[in-house]
Structures are given as C-alpha cells and as structure tokens.
C-alpha cells in the first residue's frame, strides 16, 4: 500500500546555518527560527490522516480497516470540537496566540480547512469504493432505499411507524417556531415542504431531529433478506417516510445534516467552589457550544446549505458535503460484529510473567522483586488481582489510588468499593476533568463516596494525570508499602487495546516517593523532596532537560551519546530546543512519536542526528519511555507524561525509574524493535511528510506489535496483520 500523503505547506527552505559540534558554530544557530517547528494542529491533522491510511492497508483484516476509517471520524470530531474551536475562539476574541512555528491562527485555519475537506472527501471515497463493496462480497450489506425489496419496504414501514415515528418531533419553521437549538453531533434533517397546514402555515421548511435514543443502524430480519447480515440506516428510514411526518403536505426534499460544536469545558478555577457541581453544569452546556462545522448530505441544495450556515453563524469554508451518512462513527456496530473472525484480528491471550504464573500471594512475589508488565501482550490482571487481594487482606490498612480514565463499574472500582466496605482507609484521587470521561468519573466518584472511600478531586487548575496505586500493609511490626505505577489508565478495557507499561514494586524509596505525592495531592504543604520519582509540574521537565544537556556534554566530549524517547506527542519548545542542541553536538536521537510532533528532523546543521517515526497498528501506542545512554550507565524512566506543555507544566505527572540491568534491557529491547519496524512505521521528514522507511528487497518484514505478541504471548498468538 502506498500511503496517501499531504504536504503541510512547509517552508521551501528549512536549512539554517550549519554547525558541526556544540561549540561556537552551534551557538550561531538560531533555535527559535520558526522554520524549525511544525504547527501543532497541522501535525495533529497529519496523525489523523495516518490513521485513515490504515483503512487502505490490505494486510489488515477488512472489519479492522473499517474501524480505522471510523476512528478517523471520531478523531476528526474531537479535532473540530477542541482544536479548531480553540483557534476560532482566538480569532473571534482578536487574541491570536502564535507558537514557535510562527503560523497565526487565521492561516492555520485556512490550511486546516483545505486539508480536512480533501481528507473527509477521501474518507467517503474509501468507504464507498473500497470498504462497502468488500463487505458486500462477504455478506455484510447496508441496504440502500433504492435496493429494498417489497418485503423489506413493508418491514421498514412497520418499524418506522412502531418504533421511530412516535419518538420524532418535527419542527416547522415559522415566527412562533424559530430554528431549534440542536445538540452537538446529533443527526438532523432539513425538509423542504409544499402546501398549507391545518393552521394556514406555509413556511416551506421544517427540521426533523432524529431521536438520540434510537439506533442509527438497524438489522433486517433474516427471513426478508438474502444470506449474510443486512442493515438499514435510520436516516434511510426517515428519508423514505418523511411525508408521514407532515400529513397532507408534499415533501420536496429531505436532507440529513450534523452540527459540530465547541465541546471544550471552560471552568474558571477561581470561580469554582464545588468542582463536581460546576462540572455537571458544564457537561450540559457542552452539548450546545458554539458551532464549528456543518456536515450535510452532498445532494443538499445550495440554498438550504447556505440557510443552515447562516443559522449557525458559519462560513462556507466550514461546510462539509459528504457522500454518505453524516455520522460514520455509528457504523462501529458493523465493525465490532463477532460473527466474522476471518475479517478481524485473530484473538490472543495476554501472557503472565513467569514469577506470577502460579503465584497465590502477590505481596510475597512483589516483596522479592519488581515486576514489569507490557500490556496488552502481558495481562493487566495482576494489577487488578493485587488490588482485590489488598481489599480482602486483613493486614492491609490503607489503599490510595489515582483514577483518570476508567468506568464506574470497572473491576478496579469494585475492588476499591470492597476495600472501603471492609473498613480499610481508601483514598481515591479522581480527576473529574478527563476529557469526554467527565460524566463517568462523576459517577464513579459518587459510588466510591457512598462506599465510604475518601474521594479527592486533585488540585484546582492542574489535572492529576499520574497513574499510581499505593497499598500499606502491616507485616509483623513493620508497615510495608507496595506500589503500582503505570503509563496507562486504570481501565481494563483499554489495557487490551493500548500498549502500556506497569511496574509493581515494593522498593522502599520509590514507595515513599509515591506516599509523598499522595500527601501533596490530598493535603497542603511545601514541595517534598523525592528520591527517585520525577513529578510534574515540579521536577520532571527540569530533570529531562538536565539529562538531555548531560548527553549533549558527553557528545561534545567525544563520548558515544544516544537518546531514545517514546511518547504520544512532542510539542514542548524547551525540550525541542534541547534536543536540537544535542543533535548539533552529535547525540544520536531516536524519537518514537505516535501523534503530534512539532520537532522537524533532518534539517541540515540542526537536526540531522534526529530521527522521528510514528507507528500506528492494531494497538494504540500509548507507553512513554525516556532512555539515556549516560556514558555507559543507562538511565531509563517510564512515564504517564507526554512531552507537551500541558503535561509538563499544568498536570500532576510522574516518571518512575526502571532499575536493574534485566528490566532495563527488557524495555531497551522493545524500543529497538520499534526502531527496526519497517511495516507499520512511517518516518517524519524535514518537509513535514511521513513516508515509509526505505527497505532492501531481501529485508524481512518487521512489525513491532506482531513481534512483541509472538515473543511474549507465544508463536500461536495472532499477529497484528
């Protein structure tokens, strides 16, 4: 598959004065030159395009390709709701913030619009020309109105009259019925009518909001279909029977549309007395934020599209005409069908490390050695089992845990509830402002409180993103601590879909650091000194900059020097400048950045020693690792933090050291597999393009996720392709 790539309108000349070392020549390089930085939102858009590209990769099973296409839809929804909305807000308030790339919001918006229009058009072309025909060949059909048989028409009419029509509230537009306030991302129809109604009204227009409680995809009964699975879209049903909603009127046209609104929450910490109560109010208002995008069916007449744009205060550039359903994410029902194993990734069973395979007492195992787990290839169950064991163990006195993303009925929350009910001191630091998980977090916080747990909402104005669990246990005359630290969330579902590290440890110094961090989160006091743990917003960025500078000094002294980072995003200007300086000094730098990367690699005289790769595959690459060669004594940290301003300056984050050659080597070996992947990886070039790495004709295909699965789960496990 040749990846469809779009240039990010990079400057024609990204070269800067050459510098060969860290001395005077390096000092002459202007590292604030905006040509050295890629715009954040444009980089995020490029990541979304890389996700869409997966829908064309024929090595990937068909239903998984459909999932990638639908994930692109979800990503674009959030991109408009948060990132585009933010840029629009800056422009509207005449408060344009210009980043290191030097691109003002108005120019960025114009480039985003051009790229997004092309990619959304391309998405529907992939769906209509590639995915749907291939699904039909396997007996999976979305049956269009023009294809309904007589029996299907009768069944659809009955379903519409029994299940749909009673819930629909059509709204005629006239002076007493102004244009309704429509919910963010809801399915709606604009209907052109002819005739005069019972009250003498003849405005000629109506809006039909589709009931949100109804499924958007309805399976047709087997007895009225040919073999396979056959579905009808709710939008098709409403189109076919629109006249029944307007008795005696003639429907001249019925066109679906969907409005995307600003969904970012705007809580002012200084005006909030009760965060939970304020957040509940904000969640309601999120549904009705300012409009940022209008999607309409591509057969919608221009005058109706213009009418809608005017109603929502949008420009023509914010109109997206689509050839298909306006909300493709609703097709996830098809993508998740269990009856087609040949069209899905093969199942696998996550492995257990040797030390845990027959362990009945996890405290005993962790008391003797640190246990490092790489999910999803290795099971997340030891983390849950440790918490369950702690909940029922009479020697356990207290449990403290951070919760960022999980759900109210998860096994993790169940165990915490059991522990609280058993009389243990349970403290949960629940981050209510985990974007799009706020409602779930409010529910789980309430459930924990009702069980008797102490629930803390972190620090006002600073999100608690660290992934920590601390268990305090009485063993003889001693109080012994056990900790879990992770790069991912306490969400058992995500642990099957995301790559993340977990460390289970009883290291006294590290557990003491975790205890101190919980004390800072729940109480008040001066900054406490940590022996091993790095934590934002205090020591994490400072220490990373120091370690980069140290590697730079090694290179300047002629010593071998290398840095490997694996993160989801890299945007922090000071970190980028430090990496540029290290590259100029001769440090070999490999960056595995799944999503946004504002650093521009391969620029002559600046970043020639930096390589950036993005890997998108079966599992979401979510783990963060920071590795430094450090003159033959490698330093390695795993972290909850990405290299972004928000993570390093405005969040509670942690980075925990991996000590001991055996565990360090495990992580290093995995990082090397990422760096030699020639199947899923794309390399970022200095002009902003992502391209496949060049490979020799005889070179074997290497897919890091398939390799890790085979290595950790065994040869029988399903590969990622």
Higher per-residue confidence, 464 vs 623: 623
Q: Distance (Å, rounded) from C-alpha 217 to C-alpha 413?
A: 32
- As a whole number of angstroms, the distance between CA 702 and CA 721 comes to 11
Confidence of residue 21 (pLDDT cuts 50, 70, 90): very low
Task: Calculate mean pLDDT across residues 379-402.
Answer: 96
User: How would residue 204 be classed by pLDDT, with cut points 50, 70 and 90?
Assistant: confident
- Which of the listed ranges 237-241, 434-438, 459-463 does the model predict with the highest average pLDDT? 237-241
Question: What's the pTM?
Answer: 0.90
CATH class of 158-343: alpha beta
Determine whether the annotation assigns residue 498 to a binding site.
Answer: yes
pLDDT over 90 for what percent of the chain? 72
Per DSSP, 542 falls in state H
On average, the pLDDT of the chain sits at 88
Residue 103 has what pLDDT? Answer: 94
Q: What average pLDDT does this structure show over 252-256?
A: 96
State pLDDT tens for residues 379-388: 999 999 999 9
Percent of the chain surpassing pLDDT 70: 89
**Rounded mean pLDDT, 551-565:** 97
What is the per-residue pLDDT across 282-321, written as a single tens digit (0 to 9) for each?
444 445 578 999 999 999 999 999 999 999 999 999 999 9
Residue labelled with tokens 């199947």? 679
User: Which of 278-287, 327-336, 630-639 reaches the highest mean pLDDT?
Assistant: 630-639
Residue 18 is predicted with a pLDDT of 40
Residue 255: what pLDDT? 97
Q: Which tokens go with 201?
A: 């009204």
pLDDT at 436: 53
For the residues 681-690, what does the mean pLDDT come to?
95
Q: What tens digit of pLDDT does each residue of 425-450 get?
A: 999 998 776 555 566 667 788 888 88
Query: Is a pLDDT exceeding 90 seen at residue 693?
Result: no
Hey, which residues are catalytic here?
Answer: 465
Strands 217-219 and 229-233: antiparallel
What number is the average pLDDT over the span 72-96?
90
Residue 435 assigned to a binding site: yes
**pLDDT tens, residue by residue, 476-515:** 999 999 999 999 988 888 899 999 999 999 999 999 999 9
Q: Please tell me the predicted confidence (pLDDT) of residue 479.
A: 94
Least confident range from 18-32, 482-496, 567-581, 632-646: namely 18-32
* Residue bearing the bigger pLDDT, 618 or 27: 618
- Helix (H), strand (E) counts: the chain: 21, 27
Comparing CA positions, the residue from 451, 441, 459 lying closest to residue 403 is 441
- Any idea of the CA torsion for 509, 514, 519, 522, to the nearest 10 degrees? 180
- Look-up: residue for tokens 């998980």? 437
User: Which pLDDT does position 10 carry in this prediction?
Assistant: 39
136-145 per-position pLDDT tens digit: 999 999 999 9
| 124 annotated to bind ligand | no
- Confidence band (pLDDT; 50, 70, 90) for 173? confident
Length of the chain, please? 721
Tell me: pLDDT of 269 over 90: no
Q: 502 with 375: CB under 8 angstroms?
A: yes
Phi-psi region of 48 (alpha: psi -120 to 50; beta: other; left: phi over 0): alpha
Residue 155 has pLDDT above 90, yes or no: yes
Check whether 65 is labelled as a binding-site residue. Answer: no
Judge whether residue 274 has pLDDT over 60: no
**Confidence band of 20 (pLDDT split at 50, 70, 90):** very low
Asked if the model's pLDDT at residue 77 lies above 50, the reply is yes
In DSSP terms, 18 is beta-bridged to none
Is residue 558 over pLDDT 50?
A: yes
Q: What is the pLDDT of residues 107-138, one digit of tens each?
A: 999 999 999 999 999 999 999 999 999 999 99
User: Is the confidence at residue 253, as pLDDT, over 70?
Assistant: yes
Tell me what the mean pLDDT of segment 526-537 comes to.
92
Residue 638 has φ and ψ, to the nearest 5°, of: -105, 150
Residue spans per domain, the chain? 158-343, 354-532, 535-713
Residue 694 is predicted with a pLDDT of: 83
Look at 158 and 408; give whichever has higher pLDDT: 158
pLDDT band at residue 641 using 50, 70 and 90 as cut-offs: very high
Q: Is the pLDDT of residue 363 over 50?
A: yes
Which helix (DSSP H) or strand (DSSP E) does residue 173 occupy?
Answer: none
- Decide: residue 25, CB within 10 A, 0-12 exposed, 13-18 middle, 19+ buried: middle
CB 193, CB 249: distance < 8 Å: yes
Alpha helices in 452-539 (DSSP H): 508-522
| Mean predicted confidence (pLDDT) in 152-171 | 96
Please tell me if the domain spanning 158-343 has the same topology as the one spanning 535-713.
no
647 annotated to a ligand binding site: no
- Cβ atoms of residues 399 and 413 within 8 Å: no
pLDDT category at 27 given cuts 50, 70, 90 is low
pLDDT digits (tens, 9 = 90+) for 38-63: 999 999 999 999 999 999 999 999 99
Known binding residue 157? Answer is no
For domain 535-713, the CATH architecture is 2-Layer Sandwich (3.30)
CB of 44 closer than 8 Å to CB of 598: no
Beta strands at 498-505 and 371-375: parallel, antiparallel or unpaired: antiparallel
Look at the domain 354-532 and name its fold.
Endonuclease; Chain A (3.30.870)
- Measured in degrees and rounded to the nearest 5, phi and psi for residue 387 equal -70, -40
Q: For residues 428 and 41, what is the distance between their CA atoms, to the nearest angstrom?
A: 34
Task: Name the region of 340 (left: φ>0; alpha: ψ -120 to 50; beta: rest).
Answer: beta
């Amino acid at each position: 598959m040749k990846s469809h790539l779009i240039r990010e309108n990079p400057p024609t000349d990204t070269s800067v004065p050459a510098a060969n070392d860290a001395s005077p020549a390096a000092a002459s390089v202007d590292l604030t030159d905006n040509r050295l930085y890629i715009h954040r939102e444009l980089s995020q858009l490029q990541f979304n395009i890389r996700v869409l590209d997966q829908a064309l990769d024929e090595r990937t099973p068909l239903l998984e390709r459909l999932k990638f296409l639908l994930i692109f839809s979800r990503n674009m929804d959030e991109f408009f709701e948060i990132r585009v909305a933010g840029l629009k807000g800056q422009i509207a308030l005449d408060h344009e913030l210009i980043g290191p790339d030097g691109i003002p919001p108005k120019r960025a918006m114009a480039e985003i619009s051009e790229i997004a229009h092309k990619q959304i058009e391309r998405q529907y072309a992939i769906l209509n020309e590639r995915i749907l025909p291939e699904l039909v060949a396997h007996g999976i059909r979305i049956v269009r109105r023009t294809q309904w048989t007589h029996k299907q028409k009768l069944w659809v009419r009955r379903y519409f009259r029994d299940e749909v029509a009673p819930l629909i509230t059509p709204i005629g537009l006239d002076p007493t019925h102004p244009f309704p306030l429509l919910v963010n991302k809801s399915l709606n129809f604009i209907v052109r009518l002819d005739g005069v109604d019972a009250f003498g009204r003849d405005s000629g227009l109506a809006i039909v909001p589709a009931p949100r409680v109804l499924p958007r995809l309805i399976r047709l009964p087997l007895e009225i279909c040919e073999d396979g699975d056959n579905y009808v879209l709710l939008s098709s049903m409403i189109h076919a029977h629109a006249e029944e909603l307007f008795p005696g009127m003639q429907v001249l046209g019925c066109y679906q549309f969907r409005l995307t609104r600003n969904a970012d929450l705007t809580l002012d910490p200084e005006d909030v007395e009760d965060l939970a109560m304020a957040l509940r109010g904000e969640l309601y208002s999120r549904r009705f934020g300012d409009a940022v995008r209008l999607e309409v069916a591509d057969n919608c007449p221009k005058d109706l599209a213009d009418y809608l744009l005017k109603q929502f205060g949008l420009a023509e550039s914010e109109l997206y005409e689509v050839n298909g359903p306006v909300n493709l994410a609703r097709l996830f029902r098809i993508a998740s069908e269990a009856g087609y194993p040949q069209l899905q990734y093969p199942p696998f069973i996550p492995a257990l490390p040797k030390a845990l395979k027959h362990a009945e007492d996890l405290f005993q195992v962790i008391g003797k050695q640190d246990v490092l787990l790489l999910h999803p290839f290795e099971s997340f169950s030891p983390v849950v089992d440790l918490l369950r064991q702690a909940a029922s163990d009479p020697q356990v006195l207290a449990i403290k845990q951070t919760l960022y993303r999980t759900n109210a009925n998860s096994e993790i929350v169940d165990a915490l509830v059991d522990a609280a009910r058993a009389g243990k001191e349970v403290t949960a630091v629940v981050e209510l402002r985990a974007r799009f998980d706020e409602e779930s977090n409010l529910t789980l916080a309430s459930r924990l409180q009702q069980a008797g747990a102490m629930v803390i909402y972190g620090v006002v104005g600073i999100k608690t993103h660290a992934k920590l669990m601390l268990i305090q246990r009485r063993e003889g005359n001693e109080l012994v601590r056990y900790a879990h630290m992770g790069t991912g969330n306490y969400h058992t579902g995500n642990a099957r879909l995301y790559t993340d590290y977990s460390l289970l440890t009883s290291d006294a110094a590290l557990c003491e650091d975790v205890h101190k961090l919980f004390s800072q989160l729940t109480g008040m006091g001066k900054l406490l000194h940590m022996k091993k743990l790095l934590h934002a917003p205090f020591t994490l960025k400072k220490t990373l900059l120091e370690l980069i500078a140290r590697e730079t000094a090694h290179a300047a002294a002629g010593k071998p020097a290398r840095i490997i980072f694996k993160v989801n995003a890299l945007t922090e200007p000071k970190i980028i400048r430090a990496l540029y300086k290290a590259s100029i000094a001769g440090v070999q730098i490999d960056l595995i950045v799944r999503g946004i990367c504002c650093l521009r690699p391969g620029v002559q005289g600046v970043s020639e020693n930096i390589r950036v790769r993005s890997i998108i595959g079966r599992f979401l690459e979510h783990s963060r690792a920071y590795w430094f060669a450090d003159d033959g004594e490698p330093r390695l940290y795993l972290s909850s933090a990405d290299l972004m301003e928000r993570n390093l300056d405005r969040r509670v984050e942690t980075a925990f050291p991996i000590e001991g050659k055996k565990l360090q080597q495990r992580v290093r070996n995995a990082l090397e597999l990422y760096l030699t992947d020639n199947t899923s990886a794309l390399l970022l070039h200095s002009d902003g393009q992502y391209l496949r790495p060049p490979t020799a004709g005889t070179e074997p295909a290497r897919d890091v996720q398939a390799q890790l699965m085979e290595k950790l789960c065994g040869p029988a496990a399903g590969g990622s392709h």
